Every structure is written in structure tokens, then in C-alpha cells.
């Protein structure tokens, strides 16, 4: 049974949304409210149409949407990896400052903050050959991909950065579980050694 045809007349922002997503950019409810309403009101139609064209449209209820793909060019992969490093350092720096991570959209990422980030993560930045200008270029890339917005001399993170935050939290949970497993293993090993030593001592006493 075939699906009902999509009425293109009811999708006035089709061209704009396709160019937006096809460029690798995320659509954020905060930054583009009009386009977001258009997408949200006709989500099933857009999903069906883009799927027929070979694209997978995903929408996160936290307020962002994108074309999901498992493949990336070498250039995109490098940028994605460096953006992951940048966001990891930003979240780590703000966590050390006692900032609530889920309120990242309130953070003001200016030059003073970038200097602070560089002081705390000097070795990582040296390994990536990233200086202050390199960090600013990465934040500009974050703007192009819809992860951030530039406002009067500073950057602000947008909801799409949750994709990275989710990944960081999943990694942290995995490391905690692994640490607990290692601790239980060590305790079991100690208990086994203690039982063995006790049994040996009892055998010597009986002898």
C-alpha cells in the first residue's frame, strides 16, 4: 500500500529547509522560530518527502532538527572531532566553575572565557595545534552547523549541542560503571585471597 502523495503547496519552506539541512546545519527552535513552526506543523509530510529523497530527518523534542547520516567526508569528520573536543572542554571548564550544564544556553563564550579554557586545557590544545584564533574558528564552524550563535562579540550555545552533551554523559556513565565493576572485582579478589590465606593458616595449625 503506497503512502498518500505530499502536497507541496502546503510546504512553503521546502526549498529553504532542504538547503538548510543538506548543508549539514541544525535547525534550532530558539534561533529560527518561524522555520521551526513550519517544520513542526508539517513534520510528517517533511519526513516522508525527505525520506523519499534518501534523507533521514530527525527532530529532538528539546528543540532541534537535522539530517542524520552515519557517513561523513574526511573534512567533516575532522571538524566534527574538533567540535567534540571544543564542546568537551567548554563543558568541563564550566563544570569546574560550578555551572549547571543543562543551562548552557545562558553561557557567554567570549574571548575572556576562551583564555580561561586555554589555561585549563593547554596540553589538549597543543596536541591539536589549536590557539585562540583556532578556537574562534571552531566556534564559527559551530555557528555554521547550528550548534552556536554569534551575538555582539560572544558566542552562545544552541540546543543542538545536546547531541554532544548526551554523548559525553553516556561516556561518563560508562566510565563510572566500569570503575564500579573494577572495584567489585578488586574486592572479590581480596576476599578470595583472604579465604585462601585463612584456609592455609588453618591447615598449618592442624598440621
Summarised one tens digit per residue, pLDDT across range 35-74 is: 999 999 999 999 999 999 999 999 999 999 999 987 655 5
Alpha-carbon torsion 93, 99, 104, 110, what sign? negative
Question: What are the structural domains, with CATH classification, of the chain?
Answer: 8-68 (1.10.10), 74-159 (1.10.10)
- pTM for this predicted structure: 0.80
Estimate to the nearest angstrom the gap between the alpha carbon of 130 and the chain centroid. Answer: 20
Predicted confidence (pLDDT) at residue 1 exceeds the cutoff of 50: no
pLDDT tens digits along 98-125: 999 999 999 999 999 999 999 999 999 9
**C-alpha cell of 56?**
533521514
Predicted confidence (pLDDT) at residue 25 exceeds the cutoff of 70: yes
pLDDT tens digits along 140-193: 999 999 999 999 999 999 999 999 999 888 887 777 777 677 676 665 655 656
> CB neighbours of 35 closer than 8 A, spacing ≥ 6?
13, 16, 17, 20, 27
Predicted confidence (pLDDT) at residue 139 exceeds the cutoff of 70: yes
Amino acid at each position: 500500500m503506497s503512502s498518500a502523495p505530499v502536497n507541496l503547496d502546503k510546504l512553503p519552506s521546502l526549498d529553504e529547509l532542504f538547503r538548510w539541512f543538506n548543508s549539514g546545519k541544525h535547525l534550532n527552535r530558539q534561533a529560527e522560530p518561524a522555520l521551526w513552526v513550519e517544520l513542526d506543523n508539517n513534520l510528517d509530510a517533511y519526513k516522508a518527502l525527505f525520506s523519499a529523497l534518501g534523507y533521514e530527518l530527525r527532530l529532538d523534542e528539546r528543540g532541534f532538527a537535522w539530517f542524520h547520516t552515519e557517513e561523513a567526508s574526511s573534512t567533516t569528520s575532522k571538524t566534527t572531532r574538533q567540535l567534540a573536543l571544543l564542546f568537551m572542554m567548554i563543558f568541563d571548564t564550566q563544570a569546574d566553575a560550578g555551572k549547571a550544564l543543562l543551562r548552557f544556553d545562558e553561557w557567554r563564550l567570549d574571548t575572556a572565557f576562551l583564555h580561561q579554557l586555554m589555561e585549563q586545557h593547554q596540553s589538549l590544545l597543543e596536541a591539536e595545534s589549536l590557539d585562540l584564533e583556532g578556537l574562534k574558528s571552531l566556534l564559527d564552524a559551530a555557528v555554521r552547523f547550528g550548534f552556536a550563535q554569534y551575538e555582539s562579540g560572544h558566542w552562545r550555545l544552541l540546543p543542538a549541542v545536546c547531541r554532544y552533551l548526551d554523548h559525553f554523559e553516556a561516556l561518563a556513565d560508562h566510565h563510572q560503571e566500569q570503575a564500579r565493576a573494577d572495584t567489585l572485582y578488586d574486592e572479590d579478589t581480596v576476599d578470595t585471597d583472604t579465604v585462601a590465606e585463612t584456609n592455609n593458616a588453618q591447615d598449618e595449625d592442624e598440621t
